[in-house]
A and B are shown apart, each in its own frame.
Chain A
Amino acid sequence: EVQLLESGGDLVQPGGSLRLSCAASGFPVSGYAMSWVRQAPGQGLEWVSSVTGSGDGDKTFYADSVKGRFTISRDDSRNTLYLQMNSLRADDTAVFYCTKNGGPNWLVRLDSWGQGALVTVSS
């Protein structure tokens, strides 16, 4: 059974940093693209970042709103996905979902979602 368990969500001051982790089980993260999607309070879904599977070159992609501030990475030995978030702003406040894509390509359905990690950026 596929499971995704996020951790690392917290309250952080504007300009601060945070790293989210997503521990995966039931499949090898290296074989699939993985993505982060966020949801601001009371709002809809926003794609944040993706990394392709090793079979598609481990390429990374970012939304313009986070490019240069966020970094997605993967530790295949730990079967874990990460999102390093720097220079956080108030409008980054959201629940961040870790998702598994349906194949190594990142433009493929998001077929599994974690329970979400809440990131609050406030002074």
Chain B
Amino acid sequence: DIVMTQSPLTLPVTPGEAASISCRSSHSLVHSNGNNNLDWYLQKPGQSPQLLISLGFHRAPGVPDRISGSGSGTYFTLTISRVEAEDAGVYYCMQGIQSPITFGQGTRLEIK
């Protein structure tokens, strides 16, 4: 199974500051079509997870452009340029290159 490792596990951030979460995979996530099969999800407190980023950097509809994804191969980053209170929650990366689908352990973003 592909192991997904996120860091940090907890990220306290002051509103207006930038935040970055990294996600490493134990196997390359580059598909034969050139895409990286890496998605990011956010689970806000008391809610279901929601898709933020697909294929490494494509924003889902309604996701603000201050949230961006980057990376390729085995190393990926989710960056929030200016954190807002609504960004609080647990962020998960997920690989979809091979079975079984696996998630990172999650990064809890806390607003100071």
Contact = CB atoms under 8 A, between A and B. Distances in A.
Whether A and B are associated in the same complex: the answer reads yes
Interface of A: 35, 37, 44-47, 50, 61, 63-64, 97, 102, 107-116
B48 A113 contact: yes
Contact of B105 (A44, A97, A102, A115): A44
30 contacts: A35-B101, A44-B90, A44-B92, A44-B104, A44-B105, A44-B106, A45-B43, A45-B103, A45-B106, A46-B103, A47-B100, A47-B101, A47-B102, A63-B100, A64-B100, A97-B49, A107-B37, A107-B96, A107-B98, A107-B99, A107-B101, A108-B96, A109-B60, A111-B51, A111-B54, A111-B60, A112-B51, A113-B50, A114-B48, A115-B48
Interface of B: 37, 39, 41, 43, 48-51, 54-55, 60, 90, 92, 94, 96-106
Contact of A107 (B90, B92, B97, B104): B97
